[in-house]
Structure 1
Amino acid sequence: MRRATGRKSIRPVALPFAERGVRFRASFDYIERMWDASPAFENIHGCPDGDMDMLPKPAGGKLLLITGASQEAPDWIARHGAGWINDPRPASVQAKIVADWRARVEAVGGAAKPAMQSLSVDLTDDPDMPPQPIHLGFRSGVLHLRAYLKELGSIGVNHVVLNLRFNHADIETTIHRLAAEVLPDFSV
């Protein structure tokens, strides 16, 4: 027998997948407005009346990076995003995407914004191991990883987020290897 707690249980609501773009824009708008002092507005996520605040406020200005397209037009992303994070693709394809991103940012009158990419990595002990595909990335030796990252830099990718979720080696060991064997090639 369960004891009554006096609280209603909260059940997840199945939201229509086709409306995710509308929810994304409303969420984006909500976060941007909550960064203002004493925010007062109304949208589908609530109606703050100026009596509450979201902390901490961004120290260096508003910064919302957009991942993927979120059902938005490329011009909307160029206008509203502080940068754009894409999934990994072959460098030749990514080069076209980055060039298009830069052209769209310029066309909407924006200042230069970073182009970024995520990359799942499973770093092997064999530095010469060629890449083998894994989800959103590859398993390889350090030589291929360095070469790929340099190629991304040459096509205009500003930042790469390395995801070690699928890494088979000890994470701390892998982080030390990345610091010693990869990062020195990218110091500024």
Structure 2
Amino acid sequence: MTRRGYENAGYRRLFDGDGLSVGLGLPLTGVRESTPPVDEEVRLASHAESLGFDGLWARDVPTYWPRFGDAGGAFDTWPLLSHLAAHTDDIALGTSSIVLPLRHPVHVAKSAATVDRLSDGRLVLGVASGDRDPEYPAFGVDPDERGELVRERMAALRAIWREGFPEIEGSWGRLDGELDVLPKPTTETLALLPTGNARQSDEWIAQHGDGWLFYHLPETTLTSYIDRWRERTTDKPFAIAVRVALADDPTADPEPLHLGYRAGSEWFREYFGRLESHGLDHAIVGLEADDPAAAMETFADEVLD
């Protein structure tokens, strides 16, 4: 079977199977407005891998905006994923998602390829245009240019990874063929999954993305999105992030939460079965619980089994 140039070990772990794969969103401890205990994050990451979860997804949140109410896990994306790579074996490592307008593409290319190499090819990149208003002036970025910057930086990343001594130019600067950026990733390029609309059209995402990562959607809306996606591309994955809070009563009916649900494990088993039947390829579960390790076990045993 011929593989495309971005299908590294992480991509294959998430998307090679016929059914729905499931990963977990960091921080696994649920500490979102301060700095999580790193030893506990590592212990839970190893536990998630042992339970059969397919991916661990770190967010890119450069600053903490209390009004937003979420520090995103506090740690910088690249050293965090490198640390997790050293304490896990084959679970995929993802970003959800790198805010490209705020990041220099040379730094992203080098950091991402480094994590990919250190993890034996387990990195998959969600990329985004960002959603925290005060961050754009902090980085000297015009928010009205986000769409153009996403397109420009995705093109720059691919050129840096694929070419030796690339010749490319953009608003970020210029590489004129005298400099290379090392290391190169384990594959020709790394998979880039635009997140949300990323200020782009569906057609552009289908043509230039290696998949589409979206937020939680109501089921009827989700099926319409997946159907539109399949009309534009039949072989690129569609993934969503969904918030999950397991009720003590396994038979409890669902209660809507922001970007997800609180419900019993029986309902979630049916729900994720429906997501699979709709053609969803991957779900990033934001698992909320007082005892994260026990919640992972319950989810693995009673929902995914």
Normalised-by-shorter TM-score class: 0.7 to 0.9
Q: Which runs of 4+ in 1 moved over 6 A?
A: none
**Mapping for residues 25-36 of structure 1, pairs under 5 Å:** 25-36=151-162
Distance 1:81 1:170 in 2: 37
The question of 1:171 aligning with 2:300 is answered no
Q: Which moved more, 1:150-159 or 1:32-41?
A: 32-41
Deviation of 1:179 (Å): 1.8
Deviation of 1:49 (Å): 3.7
Q: 1:150 to 1:30 in 2, by over 3 A?
A: same
Query: Which of 53, 56, 63 lines up with 2:191 in the alignment?
Result: 63
Distance 2:206 2:153 in 1: 17
Q: Deviations over 1:116-146 (max 9, x none)?
A: 1110111222111111122211111111111
SS in 2 for 1:182: helix
Give the unaligned 5+ runs of structure 1. 1-10, 106-110
Task: Give the equivalent residue in structure 1 for 2:150.
Answer: 24
**Mapping for residues 18-167 of structure 1, pairs under 5 Å:** 18-38=144-164, 39-50=166-177, 51-59=179-187, 61-105=189-233, 112-164=235-287, 167=288
Task: Give the equivalent residue in structure 2 for 1:3.
Answer: none
SS in 2 for 1:113: coil
Counterpart of 1:65 in structure 2: which amino acid?
Answer: L
Distance 2:184 2:251 in 1: 45
Contact 2:239 2:283 in 1 (8 A): yes
SS in 1 for 2:204: helix
Task: Give the equivalent residue in structure 1 for 2:128.
Answer: none
Distance 1:12 1:158 in 2: 36
Deviation of 1:13 (Å): 3.4
Query: Which of 162, 176, 180 lines up with 2:301 in the alignment?
Result: 180
Counterpart of 2:269 in structure 1: which amino acid?
Answer: R
Give the unaligned 5+ runs of structure 2. 1-136
Task: Give the equivalent residue in structure 1 for 2:68.
Answer: none
Counterpart of 1:99 in structure 2: which amino acid?
Answer: D
Q: 1:12 to 1:177 in 2, by over 3 A?
A: same
TM-score of the two chains, using structure 1 as the length reference: 0.80
Q: Deviations over 1:132-173 (max 9, x none)?
A: 122211111111111111111111111111112xx1321112
SS in 1 for 2:169: coil
Question: Highest CA radius of gyration, 1 or 2?
Answer: 1
SS in 2 for 1:41: strand
Q: Percent of aligned pairs with the same residue? A: 31
Contact 1:88 1:118 in 2 (8 A): yes
Distance 1:143 1:60 in 2: 42
Contact 1:127 1:141 in 2 (8 A): yes
Counterpart of 2:139 in structure 1: which amino acid?
Answer: V
TM-score of the two chains, using structure 2 as the length reference: 0.51
Contact 2:158 2:189 in 1 (8 A): no
